[in-house]
Structure 1
Amino acid sequence: MKNILITGAASGIGKETALHFAKNGWNVIATVHFVHEKEYFNNIPNIKCYTLDVTSSESIDNAKREILKDFDTIDTIINNAGVGYRSFVELSDDHNIDNIVNVNWLGVVKVSRAFIPIFRKQKYGQFINISSIAGLVNLPLGSFYHSTKQAVESFSECMAYELLDFNISIATVQFGSAATNFQKNVTYSEHSNIKSYNNLMKKITDLLHKKTAKNVDLTPKIVQKLFSITENPTKNFKRYTIGFDANLMITLRRALGYRIFNFIIRKATL
């Protein structure tokens, strides 16, 4: 049986992916942030839980030691852990900026750094880094979330060059707003007395919640695609875009060019 490690496995895409892989014959190393979240996988065959805070190198190293006691090899790592922060630049605060950077980008960096030696020793391995359509296309109020996802894209592509000689595959996956609790858990900037800011926050939030509600079939598509990628790893770096919204946005951006695409985004959101 193959072994897969999934960060942020306690909810959303991470949890659904863990359950799907376990059901289809993989051993799942499900990492969760809080100890009590291990209960979510009680009595589920092929899933073993470990606490791992992707923002802490110490936590990652401790989890790594425990994981390697139980598993001789790791075939795939999905860097899935992520958070959202919707804020105007002016109203942003250091704590939330640090948090989203530490989780969404540096978390991918630190987990990858910790497990590369394992993959090199094995002479094979695969990293799948969950990005977002936000990593390729920019929208209002996404300054921090989009920046971290673009950082994941650049980091992954650069890392792929470094690891090519070691039979280590790197891929990123982009999609839009899936019907999970992610949007409900997004952190927002504080309410402002600036009317323009308040109106834009409401408009963008309503738009994203509406999109999320419509994308009821997106989560299964993402999970199925992740399974397909792990079953057929590619030697060279590759980006995978999933879902109608994400593919449409990328196609329009490429076909129309920045100026016209930017005009459409302004008309749709401002």
Structure 2
Amino acid sequence: MKTVLITGACAGIGKATALYFAKNGYNVIATMLCLERGKELLNTKGIITYELDVTSTESIANCKKQILAEHITIDLVINNAGRGYRSFVELAEDSQIQTIVDVNWLGVIKVCRAFIPVFREQNKGQFINITSIAGLVNLPLGSFYHSTKHAVESFSECMAYELRDFNISVATVQFGNTPSNFQKNVVKSQDSSIASYKDLMDKIDALLIKKTNKNIDLKQSIVEQLYEIAQNPPRNFKRYTIGFDANFLNIIRKRLGYQLFARLIRKSVF
């Protein structure tokens, strides 16, 4: 029986993934910032919950020590924890910029760094790092969220070269907006009296809500794809793009080039 560690497992994609993997025979280590928020998972067969703050090296070390005392091997780490920040660069706050960098990028790095030695000693292991279509294309008001997801893509690809000799697989997974609490919890910049800024924020909000509501089947597709990747780890670094929106944007960005793609986005939004 394989064991998977999932970060950010108290809700959304992380929670759905934990439940799906447990249902399909995995031992699931569901980690989260606050155990109180993951109460539904506490009594679920095959799932053990642990408190973990991915931004804290100390928290990761303590959690790792506890996990290794209770589990012989770890087969897979899914770095799912993340947060959103929708802001104009001019209005961005230092604390919010630091938080999204700490969670979305440095959190992935710190968790990988902690479990590479475990995988190396086992001579096997797999990292699946959840990014987003935001890690492949750039869209309005995504300066901070998109840049962290691009960073995870680059980090993952580079890391894969280092780990190849140790039978450690690395993959990233991208998808678009899916019905969950993620969009509800996105932090936004303060309201602005600048008409252009206010108008653009309203348009982006409306567009994302519309897209999210349409993707009712996307969450299930994501967890099923994650399971398939876990069952068949790629030998070399690989990106997996899930859902129509993400695949469409990824393909047309590659085919159109920057200028034509940017023109299409402007036409769709402005």
TM-score range, shorter chain: over 0.9
Q: Which residue of 2 aligns with 1:168?
A: 168
Query: Equivalent residue of 1:31, what SS?
Result: strand
Report the Cα offset of residue 126 of structure 1.
0.1
Aligned residue identity for 1:39:
K
Q: Counterparts of 1:61 and 1:40 in 2: how far apart (Å)?
A: 25
Residues 133 and 174, structure 2, Cα contact 8 Å, conserved in 1: yes
Distance 1:28 1:96 in 2: 31
Q: What aligned pairs does 1:33-72 form with structure 2 within 5 A after superposition?
A: 33-72=33-72
- Distance of 2:124 and 2:247 partners within structure 1: 30
Normalising to structure 1: TM-score of the pair?
Answer: 0.99
- Counterpart CA distance in 1 for 2:23 and 2:123 is 27
1:241 aligns with: 241
Please say if 1:218 is aligned against 2:218.
yes
- Name the aligned partner's letter for residue 64 of structure 1: K
- Is structure 2 residue 155 aligned with structure 1 residue 155? yes
- In the alignment, the residues of structure 2 paired with residue 23 and residue 184 of structure 1 have an alpha-carbon distance, to the nearest angstrom, of 28
2:257 alignment partner in structure 1: 257
- Amino acid corresponding to residue 243 of structure 1 in structure 2: G
Deviation of the 1:113 alpha carbon? 0.2
Distance 1:21 1:87 in 2: 35
Pair 1:114 & 2:114 matched: yes
Unpaired runs of 5+ in structure 2? none
Between the aligned partners of 2:212 and 2:102, the Cα distance in structure 1 is: 25
* TM superposition shift of 1:40: 2.2
Query: Which residues of 2 match residues 134-149 of structure 1 at below 5 A?
Result: 134-149=134-149
Q: Is the 8 A contact 1:134 1:145 kept in 2?
A: yes
Pairwise CA RMSD: 0.6
Give the equivalent residue in structure 2 for 1:76: 76
Contact map agreement 1:38 1:50 (CA 8 A) in 2: no
- Say if 2:4 is the partner of 1:4: yes
1:159-198 matches, within 5 Å, as: 159-198=159-198
- Whether the 8 Å contact between 2:42 and 2:49 is mirrored in structure 1 is no
* 1:269 Cα deviation from its structure 2 partner: 1.2
Which deviates more from structure 2 when the two are superposed, residues 34-43 or residues 188-197?
Answer: 34-43
Q: Do the aligned residues in 1 keep the contact of 2:35 with 2:49 (CA within 8 Å)?
A: no
CA–CA separation in structure 1 for the residues paired with 2:43 and 2:158? 40
Q: In 1, Cα distance between the equivalents of 2:127 and 2:42?
A: 26
Residue type of the partner of 1:169? S
Amino acid aligned to 1:217: D
Contact 2:84-2:187 within 8 A present in 1 as well? yes
Distance (Å, rounded) in 2 between the aligned partners of 1:71 and 1:177: 34
Partner of 2:104: 104
Paired residue secondary structure (1:90): helix
What is the Cα deviation at residue 35 of structure 1? 2.9
Identity %: 64
Partner of 1:18: 18
Q: Distance in 2 between matches of 1:42 and 1:163?
A: 34
Q: Deviations over 1:180-219 (max 9, x none)?
A: 1110110000001101000000000110011000000000
What is residue 200 of structure 1 aligned with on the other side? 200
TM-superposed CA distance for 1:257, in Å, is 1.4
CA contact 1:7–1:30 (8 Å) conserved in 2: yes
In structure 2, what is the Cα distance between the partners aligned to 1:256 and 1:57? 42
| TM-score between both structures, scaled by the size of structure 2 | 0.99
Q: Give the deviation of 1:38 after TM superposition.
A: 4.0
Counterpart code for 1:215: N
Determine if contact 1:17/1:223 at 8 Å carries over to the other structure: yes
Matched residues, number: 270
- Alignment-mate amino acid for residue 32 of structure 2: V
Native 8 Å contact 2:129 2:171 kept in 1:
yes
Residue 229 of structure 1 corresponds to 229
Residue 255 of structure 1: how far off its partner (Å): 1.3
